[in-house]
Amino acid sequence: IKRDLQSEKARLRNKIYRSRVRTAIRAFQDTVAKGDGTAINGKLNEVYSILDKCVQKGVFKINKASRTKSRLAAKALAS
């Protein structure tokens, strides 16, 4: 019973972090669509920070975070 309670708390905590990442990525993609260079770098740094925190908390594995950061950086350079 205790393990179930702990798992549920962890699931909800992880859900918050994943949602925060998706929201930041969406904001970054909107900025890329607009083409504002300084804002793109700001949003990219924000996404990097959130992804790194998620890795520290164990929400994402480091390779997933690295892969996501690489793809976003490529999109930033392409715009």
Q: Tell me the whole-structure pTM to 2 decimals.
A: 0.89
Percent of the chain whose predicted confidence (pLDDT) is above 90: 92
Closest C-alpha to 40, from 58, 25, 19, 50: 25
CA–CA separation, 68 and 55 (whole Å):
12
Answer whether 67's CB lies under 8 Å from 39's CB. no
Model pLDDT, residue 36: 84
Q: For residue 28, which amino acid is it?
A: F
Confidence at 10, pLDDT banded by 50, 70, 90: very high
Q: Is 46 left (phi over 0), alpha (psi -120 to 50) or beta?
A: alpha
* Mean pLDDT score of the chain: 95
Higher-confidence residue of 36 and 6: namely 6
HSE value, Cβ hemisphere, 13 Å, CA-based, for 44 = 18
